Amino acid sequence: MTGTGRNPYSWASDARDEDLLTIPSSALGFLSEYKREPDFEKLRATLSKIWQESRSKFHVYKCIATFQFLKPRVADHPLYRTLVEELKSEKTGALPVNRVLELGCCFGTDVRKLMQDGVPASRIVASDLHAGYWQLGMKLYDDADRIAGVETVFGDWAVSPNMSSVAAVADEDTLPPVDFAAYRAHFSFVVASAILHCLSEVQIQAFIGNVADVLVPGGTFLGSCVGRVTEGAWMSSGSDQEVGSQTRYLHSPESLEKLLRRFGFKDVVVEAKSVPSTEGSGNGGEKKSPADMNHGLRMLFQATRM
């Protein structure tokens, strides 16, 4: 998909020049710490080059345009410390494996946070639709050797055996298939931050089904997403009308809990608070948030595979 300029989801928007005008210092904390580079102007220069390269090759999602990818999302989850301590442990405890899969890794900020906090690279698998952002992440963080121990798998996790990838928008853009069977019962943790609200209702079901398959019994699925008080489609721009089944779907805390239980999860916890979201302005149009559509929620979830 690199270099095609095709957007894998209908709502991916072209970044605008004004988005690059200001990179706040508050957004550079982790990048500075990881690279051990105190000069924020140098970091801004590097980040600007990477941002422009991503813009020339891919559609720039709102979380990229607004530099949200610079902050490790996984660290905000209540289970983060437990996740880290379990993955650092030499013992697997009651589970037969001790590995984590991060879905939607993008530039790899969360992966690097895990490594910085002591998780061995060999226990991390990173995945996204394609390798483009991951490769740019190695340029941004300048750590190709350090990150080499992390296994990567690229392709669409939001498909089931009886459906094709709706993220593949042209023959030349066909995503590599994920060999789900090779990863069956392969992970003790799966992390998905800011992914579910990027998917249609059908895609969410396929995604959660695949997550359930790759977790060992007793394994944990955790992450975050945008939601709404009442579940329903998120019609954030006119382009959503063009692709029907790709229209994004926002779950409520209750509907997400119900769906997770349906796919074999127990001990489901969905925490939600009402906050406006900056992810999701439609293709250059007026900025909208889920708060404009039935009170936007930021949801943190966790569930155990039965």
Determine the pLDDT at residue 244: 42
Per-residue pLDDT in tens (0 to 9) along the chain, 306 residues:
333 333 444 444 445 555 555 677 888 999 999 999 999 999 999 998 998 898 888 867 778 877 889 999 999 999 999 999 999 998 767 788 899 999 999 999 999 999 999 999 999 999 999 999 999 999 999 999 999 999 999 999 999 876 655 554 333 456 778 999 999 999 999 999 999 999 999 999 999 999 999 999 999 999 999 999 999 998 755 444 434 446 899 999 999 999 999 999 999 999 999 875 444 433 333 444 444 445 589 999 999 999
Contacts of 237 (CB under 8 A, 6+ apart): 10, 11, 13, 282, 283, 285
Q: Are 39 and 148 in contact (CB under 8 A)?
A: no
Element (H, E) at 111: helix 109-116
Determine the pLDDT at residue 7: 43
Q: Which amino acid is at 137?
A: G
Domain extents in the chain: 72-305
User: And the tokens for 137?
Assistant: 């992440």
pTM: 0.86
Determine the pLDDT at residue 96: 81
CATH fold of 72-305 reads: Rossmann fold (3.40.50)
Q: Are 240 and 283 in contact (CB under 8 A)?
A: no
Determine the pLDDT at residue 66: 79
Question: Crossing angle, helix 132-141 and helix 40-57, to 10 degrees?
Answer: 160
Determine the pLDDT at residue 6: 39
Determine the pLDDT at residue 234: 86
Determine the pLDDT at residue 85: 96
Answer left, alpha or beta for residue 304, where phi above 0 means left and psi between -120 and 50 means alpha. Answer: beta
Q: Are 160 and 188 in contact (CB under 8 A)?
A: no
Determine the pLDDT at residue 10: 43
Distance, in Å, from the CA atom of 134 to the CA atom of 188, rounded to the nearest integer, reads: 23
